[in-house]
Amino acid sequence: MTKSMQETNNGSFRLSTVHSQDGTRIGYRSVGHGPALIVVPGVLTTSEQFTTFARSLSDSLTVHILDRRGRGESGPQGPEYSMIKECEDIRAVQDATGATYIFGHSYGGLATLEAALTNLSFARIALYEPGVLIHSVPTDWNWIADYEQDLSRQDLRGAFATYVQGAGQSLLTRVPRWLARLILCLTVRGERWSLIARLLHENLNEQRELRRLASKYRQYEAIDADVLLMAGGKSPEFVHQMIHELNHTIQRSQAMTLPKLNHLSPENGHKPIQVAELVRAFFLENGQLN
């Protein structure tokens, strides 16, 4: 694997790049000292949304937050984008950092599980509401065509509303689309909206991969690592069903529900420190959680 490293300083974080198997530049930011941990963010986010989470762990772990391809310091997804590329990117960062611990959130959790199938050097894996779909019916995905049409018309606000309702992670699934769009316009603004708007096209490709991998979770039985599965108590019931099924599928796993948290809790502006405390205990206290 061809690798190229560059480092600059950005406050307490070190910005680095490594080249993945296909030559794509993959950026990541690092902080802390101790055993190395890779953090893999979800959709519509970059490494910047996980800085509070990383700092909370930095006194006992060296945290490397990945910019998945198509965002942040990393190169584009490319015309041959697939989950295979995501796994190669994770491997490239692991080779550069020597990490044997990994944390994945949402789609980043799905990428983490996929990477773990072929990468046996991860000793421990922590996942917060990984983007794994246990049951899927073809009609469940009709919204992707609407999402693609919104993007082709440059209707970014419409595309975002379509995604939020289609993904089913929000109470906005229960309201008319026009109202969901209005609520999102009022509540998602400024820098947060600017970031989301830049990543909507990348998100389309990632949702297609999510659809392709739906209902294939039984393959994770082959994962040979200690795995912590976490979910927020305020998340939809299908998330808790998914965690339950994964816990019965993965051989060495444990599951936890965090009552006051939701899907976005690991990100800045939510409650990342509460998630970080459990992650620290899992990685550094022999996996024994209270």
- Which domains, ranges and CATH numbers included, belong to the chain? 6-135+217-284 (3.40.50.1820), 138-212 (no CATH)
What is residue 137's predicted lDDT score, i.e. its pLDDT?
59
- Distance, CA of 265 to CA of 260 (rounded, Å): 9
Listed as own residue / partner, the contacts of 132-135 with beta carbons closer than 8 Å and 24 or more positions apart are 132/213, 132/217, 132/220, 132/242, 132/246, 133/210, 133/213, 133/214, 133/215, 133/217, 133/242, 134/215, 134/217, 134/238, 134/241, 134/242, 134/245, 135/215
What confidence score (pLDDT) does residue 140 get? 79
For residue 3, the model assigns a pLDDT of: 44
Residue 290 has what pLDDT? Answer: 45
pLDDT of residue 9: 44
Residue 10's pLDDT is: 43
DSSP string, 106-151: THHHHHHHHHHHH-TT--EEEEES----S---GGGGHHHHHHHHHH
- What is the per-residue pLDDT for 285? 79
Give pTM, 2 decimals.
Answer: 0.94
Q: Which of 4, 14, 9, 8 is nearest to 36 (CA)?
A: 14
pLDDT at 138: 56
Q: Which residue has the tokens 């307490």?
A: 12
Segments in the chain below pLDDT 70 = 1-11, 136-139, 286-290
pLDDT tens track for 56-112: 999 999 999 999 999 999 999 999 999 999 999 999 999 999 999 999 999 999 999
